[in-house]
Structure 1
């Protein structure tokens, strides 16, 4: 049996080997102590003016140019392949590269346009990156596991290796999207940082002292470096929202059943108490709307048994616009959450919440304190779902190669535990449903407070206690509040109640404003760890974001509200 270190090294080197020599960096990137930020001008120095123009245009602008034939799909694909290659060399964000296939696909799109005089679909020529859970023909899916190299999800002889494609991949191709790379994840997918034994650690490109987030961390880092205009991640405890937030991006965690998940790799497949969902991350809300609308036009409910038949609803979007643009200045009502009672937020996150609250008030909207049912109880139920099998699935995946778990994983899965019985799982599902009902009725009850005739429209909340995690800080815990769980509580409650949540980038850490709280008394051990981790100098200029949370299946409404707030924040002086 080949040692796991050898397999990992060969795979790592094979990815670098797929980068054209002309795109290799002339020298290693300086350490974070010398060059903490590799975004903006740093990466631009390796690109042509035309490549910079293309890659710094958002997805909406790109499609506008490709469907009008102003830009060739091939030129766009080559520009993003180049920038993605640079990004990987700077922060380790790619698991798979298939640039040649992407450029060939783009050339075929250009030929189609030349022959027919029209684009092939609404995403004609748009490069789209994918988290390494999507199966793409002629490309491996390792999900960060050494034991999955050369297999189909750890199995050989399935006749699916490099042939099978996930449902969303098929739909994206139908829409004219160009697929060109798959991005890094933490093995198991169950961490708020991105690390595995194949590519190592994926760093935050804005501040390379910090994590890029997880588990869709490679997506966050790549899009943060503008090596992709839009990409897809997944979220079972914050895995879309955390990387979006840490990298200053927009992202959305839809409710389960809105977008297709069929045919994707996953951990603990069959755990249905809290479903992992797929959603986009991008540099603008418009980009999120563009790809979601496109996918819904493909009628995914005809090919994924878990997708609800809900086309894009313009009326939900318009209802928000009618409120805020109506005669007399209509008002939205926001609930304001500043923590979960388990850990408090560091100074930059508190300031970001205050900025959004003041922005909402300046726009004429109402804000109210959000005091829902206990999030502690919510999390006790949620974290049980991740250990129904006692860790058997992830231990089996590691056993394929004998590779060790990253420290970010061991707090949850370090040792095998007893599997839950069917009765225990059923009891936890009953508790979950009861909690969802309680939360629902609390939300309903806020209609008595708002004065708008409606309950709260959305909740403004943190999704992590820090702007970004320091390495080995973002652990998912083990189902008891005594575990080293310091982050997911602020994001996972959304998954537990299955609400819609979008990420709103707000500001940057400012060491002169976001100073350490003198005389702070921690709530508990976890809160103390968060407090002690904050260093204004280390965090300076890191991205800070919040989440905008709506009720189930309110994707159109929440994206519209997020866009309204984002547009207003664009005028805010940092």
Structure 2
């Protein structure tokens, strides 16, 4: 078997060949050579724009819903849209290291077919007609490599396309790029031995998040307007938050998870989910309605036969014209790690504006989360085999175990190989279920519709420091849907000394997070928050966020400006 270094070199060469293929098209797409990455500015958003035409910028920065309308009425062609996103994705790759391969020939052929269909039949193939969609690499695409970030798994080829991708394709979308993920798929950053580190386009000193970090970085730089990620501890929401875009962690068993590559396939104690990331909020609902509208439960009996519900949860009163009042819980911190000043400021600003709409919103403080207990339970359930499959996958080529892989595999509650006994696993599952019952009882008592809270203990973290998952993994443990949205970016308002509780903090995890804060280091990083709802309230949280954004004017500052 080749060494892991040889395998990595081959994968990187393959990726480069897919970018070079753009210049060999009949109508070439030329992308720049940036040379030494260390000479790039920290914020490369405008660097990305500089190498695009005004028309390419207009296309790639448009709301996906607008793009779809223009495609449907032939204002723009699928070929032109695909070419623009291929070019911007190639540039984003050179700036952030966010892709594993581009798919120019198959994408442009598909785009041409869709244009021909529209011309002949005068109607689109479906609701996603001509829209380019990016894909996290470990979701199977028939005939393509499926390595899940492990050097030893390179060469595994997908025999079929992932279940979640098929209804999107049938609805007319175009798959044109695949994106990076971390070793083990269990980092809240994105780094592996195949491709290296995926960085944040708004501040290259910071992480793009993980494990769908390639998606986050690509969408953040508008190399994609809609992408597909997965989430078992924050892997959609962390990249969405870090890159100032929207991301939805749906309730489990609403979307199909078949035909993807990962260790520990078949475990059911903490169920992973697949979901969308996008530049614009309406695209999340569109993604869900298309995927669920295909009735995936007819072929996957694990799924809940619950259609996507379009009716309003906050209807207008026919007499007063006012909407049903929304009760919003606010969790400023979880009692374990206090978020950095930009996050606290963002919550204060949103809440202040919500309070001004007293007839529409009721605000209540939410303080009880039992976050420490939640992490003890979920971290013990992540690797029931003691990490045996993860280490075996890395050992196939003796690739180095990266720091964040070692960290998550050696959390105090993770068992030693061979893992939990059956009795231990049953006991932990009961603890999980008891925690869920207690949590929903407190939710019921509060009477809230949704909960506003941080996505993490700060904005995008410094590289190799994303070691607190509590603000995202809690919702995986209780299996609540959560949507992430941008609020602003780090600026002068966040300067000055940060000294809460006399600087003593709540414990070791809190102290480490406090030590990481430096307003200059996080300059221009996007600030995002999270809106959470009860199980199967996926539609409700998206509607609630749409209403909130309209009333208070979110984002207050566009991270791209």
Q: Which residue of 1 aligns with 2:528?
A: 545
* CA contact 2:315–2:324 (8 Å) conserved in 1: no
Q: Which residue of 1 aligns with 2:452?
A: 460
* CA contact 2:164–2:257 (8 Å) conserved in 1: yes
Match status 1:42 vs 2:47: yes
Q: Which residue of 2 aligns with 1:412?
A: 408
User: Within 1, Cα distance between the matches of 2:220 and 2:36?
Assistant: 17
Match status 1:397 vs 2:386: no
Change in Cα spacing, 1:326 to 1:46, as seen in structure 2 (3 Å) is: farther
Change in Cα spacing, 1:205 to 1:373, as seen in structure 2 (3 Å) is: closer
Find the partner of 2:137 among 132, 137, 145.
132
1:155-166 aligned at under 5 Å gives the runs: 161-166=157-162
Q: CA deviation digits over 1:13-33, x for unaligned, max 9? A: 21011113453423326537x
Change in Cα spacing, 1:171 to 1:522, as seen in structure 2 (3 Å) is: same
* TM-score, normalised by the number of residues in structure 2: 0.93
Find the partner of 1:471 among 447, 460, 463.
463
Change in Cα spacing, 1:174 to 1:210, as seen in structure 2 (3 Å) is: same
Q: Which residue of 1 aligns with 2:444?
A: 444
1:285-296 aligned at under 5 Å gives the runs: 285-296=281-292
Match status 1:556 vs 2:539: yes
Q: Which residue of 2 aligns with 1:356?
A: 350
Q: Which residue of 2 aligns with 1:218?
A: 214
Secondary structure of 1:409 counterpart: helix
User: Within 2, Cα distance between the matches of 1:369 and 1:258?
Assistant: 30
Q: Which moved more, 1:257-266 or 1:409-418?
A: 409-418
Q: Which residue of 2 aligns with 1:479?
A: none
Match status 1:78 vs 2:83: yes
User: Within 2, Cα distance between the matches of 1:322 and 1:98?
Assistant: 46
Q: Please report how far the alpha carbon of residue 469 of structure 1 lies from its aligned counterpart in structure 2 after TM superposition.
A: 0.9
Q: CA deviation digits over 1:497-519, x for unaligned, max 9? A: 00010012111111443433145
* CA contact 2:231–2:272 (8 Å) conserved in 1: yes
Q: Which moved more, 1:244-253 or 1:520-529?
A: 520-529
User: Within 1, Cα distance between the matches of 2:322 and 2:100?
Assistant: 53
Secondary structure of 1:546 counterpart: strand
Q: CA deviation digits over 1:530-572, x for unaligned, max 9? A: 1111111111211011100000010111001111222344367
* TM-score, normalised by the number of residues in structure 1: 0.91
Secondary structure of 1:314 counterpart: coil
Match status 1:526 vs 2:509: yes
User: Within 2, Cα distance between the matches of 1:345 and 1:308?
Assistant: 36
User: Within 2, Cα distance between the matches of 1:187 and 1:30?
Assistant: 23
* CA contact 2:314–2:324 (8 Å) conserved in 1: no
Q: Which residue of 1 aligns with 2:332?
A: 338
1:178-197 aligned at under 5 Å gives the runs: 178-197=174-193
Q: Please report how far the alpha carbon of residue 66 of structure 1 lies from its aligned counterpart in structure 2 after TM superposition.
A: 1.0
Q: Which residue of 2 aligns with 1:143?
A: 148
User: Within 2, Cα distance between the matches of 1:325 and 1:132?
Assistant: 51
User: Within 2, Cα distance between the matches of 1:325 and 1:393?
Assistant: 61
Secondary structure of 2:182 counterpart: coil
User: Within 2, Cα distance between the matches of 1:425 and 1:324?
Assistant: 53
Find the partner of 2:118 among 108, 113, 116.
113
Q: Which residue of 1 aligns with 2:35?
A: 28
* CA contact 1:373–1:438 (8 Å) conserved in 2: no
Secondary structure of 2:452 counterpart: strand
User: Within 2, Cα distance between the matches of 1:182 and 1:404?
Assistant: 24
User: Within 1, Cα distance between the matches of 2:170 and 2:554?
Assistant: 38
User: Within 1, Cα distance between the matches of 2:318 and 2:83?
Assistant: 41
Q: CA deviation digits over 1:294-314, x for unaligned, max 9? A: 112211111222221111111
Q: Which residue of 1 aligns with 2:227?
A: 231
Secondary structure of 1:278 counterpart: strand
Gaps of at least 5 residues in structure 2 are: 24-28
Q: Which residue of 2 aligns with 1:158?
A: none
* CA contact 1:460–1:546 (8 Å) conserved in 2: yes
Find the partner of 1:502 among 483, 486, 490.
483
Q: Which moved more, 1:170-179 or 1:352-361?
A: 352-361
User: Within 2, Cα distance between the matches of 1:311 and 1:113?
Assistant: 28
Change in Cα spacing, 1:385 to 1:325, as seen in structure 2 (3 Å) is: farther
Report the aligned-residue RMSD: 1.8
Secondary structure of 1:11 counterpart: helix
User: Within 2, Cα distance between the matches of 1:445 and 1:474?
Assistant: 33
Q: Please report how far the alpha carbon of residue 69 of structure 1 lies from its aligned counterpart in structure 2 after TM superposition.
A: 1.7
1:248-259 aligned at under 5 Å gives the runs: 248-259=244-255
Q: CA deviation digits over 1:278-303, x for unaligned, max 9? A: 11010111111111111122111112
Secondary structure of 2:255 counterpart: coil
User: Within 2, Cα distance between the matches of 1:521 and 1:324?
Assistant: 53
User: Within 2, Cα distance between the matches of 1:4 and 1:434?
Assistant: 44
Q: Which moved more, 1:297-306 or 1:320-329?
A: 320-329
Q: Which residue of 1 aligns with 2:426?
A: 426
Change in Cα spacing, 1:226 to 1:573, as seen in structure 2 (3 Å) is: closer
* CA contact 2:334–2:367 (8 Å) conserved in 1: no
Q: Which residue of 1 aligns with 2:321?
A: 327
Find the partner of 1:167 among 138, 163, 167.
163
Change in Cα spacing, 1:328 to 1:95, as seen in structure 2 (3 Å) is: closer
